[in-house]
Structure 1
Amino acid sequence: MFELRRLRLLHELALRGTLAAVAEALSYSPSTISQQLAQLEKEAGVPLLAPEGRRVRLTEHGQVLAAHAARALDQDERARGELESLHPGLAPVRVAVMQTAALAVAPVALALLAERAPYLRVELVELPPERGLFELAARSVDLVIAEQYPGHTRPHTAGIEREILGIDPIRVAIPAGDAARSLHDLRARAWVMEPAGTAARLWAVQQCRASGFEPDVRFELADLSAHARLIAAGQAVGVLPDLLWGGDPTPVAVLDLPGRPAREIFLAQRTSSQGRAGIAEVRSALRDAFPTTRRDAAG
């Protein structure tokens, strides 16, 4: 009989690609991972790993067993969900949130949960959407709040379901008192944007190109609060979502983009965890915490 803990290690290796990455994600040493996978090979009676340079790869047998491991983990999660329905709060709910959701949605949701389900332990980690969705598939978190920009859909992953929370308008942010009146007026300015490769960066660059210029990206920062500070100080301009302000007065001036675009904010969850009562409580609180005007606009 295969041990579920070892099957999870094989599943993690199939997702993350290296023993070092698995060890870091699960807080084990690489030698411990290697020992456990070697034991799994003995249980399987066939080679599961093969050396490839300084790394290892899954053999054909390893790939087959990794697929079975994913199904076994799904079934384990369903069983735990049934137990949780009889014992609310049995397990914590781990939520990955992007920065703007951490600022504008999470505090309200946690306050609601303190009233509705005080027995429930909720753990938050701030992760960019790309990383959060990956960790959801890897079972490191139970829920993800992520975003999708107009015309830039995110890939759908088998076993992951999504629910739209609402929409969030995106505008050009400029220093207060700036004379610019359109995106094209900012073609010679210094820009602050998110790191290369993120959906937000790709989308922002496309808006500039559609307006006839290539942005001079001098500042590359993941922290949107730092974007706002640079812009307020007159050192840059940028594209920022309304959710960043959380309903507070903005320290910058904002201009509408052509067509008044908005990003879609969504919740993602593994289908195998749908039976978990704690996750359902958190989802309900997140829905109610999302700013009403943006949620209504989504409909």
Structure 2
Amino acid sequence: MFDLHRLRLLRELKHRGTLAAVAAALSYSPSSVSQQLSQLEAEAGVPLLEPVGRRVRLTEQAEILVAHTEAVLERLERAEADIATSLSEITGTLRIASFQTAALALVPTALTLLRDAHPRLRVHMTQAEPERALPALLARDFDVVVAEEYPGSANPRPAELEQEDLCEDPLRLALPAGVAVGSGESAQRRGPQAALMRLAGHPWVMEPEGTAARHWATALCRAAGFEPDVRYESTDLLLHLRLAEQGHAAALLPDLVWSGRPPTVALRQLPRGQRARRLFTAVRRGRGRHPAIRAFRDALREAAAVG
């Protein structure tokens, strides 16, 4: 019989990448993690790790064990959810991660609804972009993640995670203050591509290289016929807005950035098929039935409907 604790350490190593990262996440020493995994190798009777430079990687047999561990942990997630459902009150701690604009525009309202309906539920929220939050969800650092998906930039969907759609968030071209690209019927006739092209020589602000938002924004500009002059990079969309307000850069902004307030810069529609990003929540498979997660998702949907 395999020891579940050691199996979980092997799973953590798969998701976190190094013994040091596993040790730091679980408050163990690296030597303790190494000893536990050596004992698991003895139980399995086959090598589970092989050196690659200064790191280690899982063998084929270790990957088999991790796959079975995922199935066991999913059953345990379901068991925890069933026990919580049997109780008359939602209690405990819910750890959520959310990207910036949802954290500003939706999560506070959802927290208010949760506080009123379930006062004994403790919520811990971390602002994190999907590129970091979704792997951390797999590593059990969070219970639920609020994430985004840009047009043409489908996120990987690991089998260990369950996604649920939240809403669509419209995306628009934000014109730099003092820069006109036309308005009225003539601008409508020229269309969204022309509005983008008129800004080909203007500085742009975008999210950093490697993010889904940057990939989408760059592809959008290239489809309009130019390479954007990206002079400012930040994951902070409020900074994007401020640079557009002061005429320093063109930007591509989602409607959530306004949080229900009137826009402070001129906006133009984007080409068809590029006009909204998908917002969704993700949890580990088997955990979606947990009453705290159901309550948070319900509150988030209500916040999105109000906003």
Name the TM-score, length of structure 1 as normaliser: 0.91
Percentage of matched positions with identical amino acids: 52
Q: Which residue of 1 aligns with 2:144?
A: 143
Asked whether 1:196 is paired with 2:209, we answer yes
Give distance in 2, aligned partners of 1:125 and 1:74: 24
Please give the residue correspondences for 1:203-242 in structure 2 after superposition, counting only pairs within 5 Å.
203-242=216-255
* Structure 1 residue identity aligned to 2:282: A
Q: Which secondary structure state, in structure 1, belongs to the residue aligned with residue 244 of structure 2? A: helix
Shift of 1:180: 2.5
Does the aligned pair in 2 maintain the 1:135–1:141 contact within 8 Å?
A: yes
Please give the residue correspondences for 1:266-281 in structure 2 after superposition, counting only pairs within 5 Å.
266-281=280-295
Does the aligned pair in 2 maintain the 1:9–1:37 contact within 8 Å?
A: yes
Q: Which residue of 2 aligns with 1:106?
A: 107
Q: Which residue of 2 aligns with 1:289?
A: 303
Shift of 1:178: 2.5
Asked whether 1:162 is paired with 2:175, we answer no
Q: Which secondary structure state, in structure 2, belongs to the residue aligned with residue 125 of structure 1? A: strand
* Structure 2 residue identity aligned to 1:232: E
Taking structure 1 as reference, are residues 25 and 195 closer, same or farther at Cα in structure 2, changes over 3 Å only? farther
* Structure 2 residue identity aligned to 1:192: V
Deviations, residues 117-159 of structure 1 (Å, cap 9, x unaligned): 1111111111111222222222221211111122222222213
Does the aligned pair in 2 maintain the 1:193–1:238 contact within 8 Å?
A: yes
Shift of 1:45: 3.6
Shift of 1:283: 1.0
Q: Which secondary structure state, in structure 2, belongs to the residue aligned with residue 121 of structure 1? A: strand
Deviations, residues 151-196 of structure 1 (Å, cap 9, x unaligned): 2222222132222211111111123342134111111111110011
Q: Which residue of 2 aligns with 1:11?
A: 11
Deviations, residues 25-77 of structure 1 (Å, cap 9, x unaligned): 44444333223222322333432212222111112332222122211211221
Runs of 4+ residues over 4 Å off in structure 1:
none
Structure 1 unaligned segments of length 5 or more: list them.
294-299
Does the aligned pair in 1 maintain the 2:92–2:120 contact within 8 Å?
A: no
Q: Which residue of 2 aligns with 1:176?
A: 177
Name the TM-score, length of structure 2 as normaliser: 0.88
Shift of 1:269: 2.0
Q: Which secondary structure state, in structure 2, belongs to the residue aligned with residue 243 of structure 1? A: helix
Shift of 1:262: 0.8
Aligned length: 293
Give distance in 2, aligned partners of 1:23 and 1:232: 46
Does the aligned pair in 2 maintain the 1:129–1:147 contact within 8 Å?
A: yes
Does the aligned pair in 2 maintain the 1:176–1:251 contact within 8 Å?
A: no
Q: RMSD of the TM alignment (CA)?
A: 1.9
After alignment, is 173-182 or 203-212 more displaced?
173-182
Structure 2 unaligned segments of length 5 or more: list them.
183-194
Shift of 1:203: 0.8
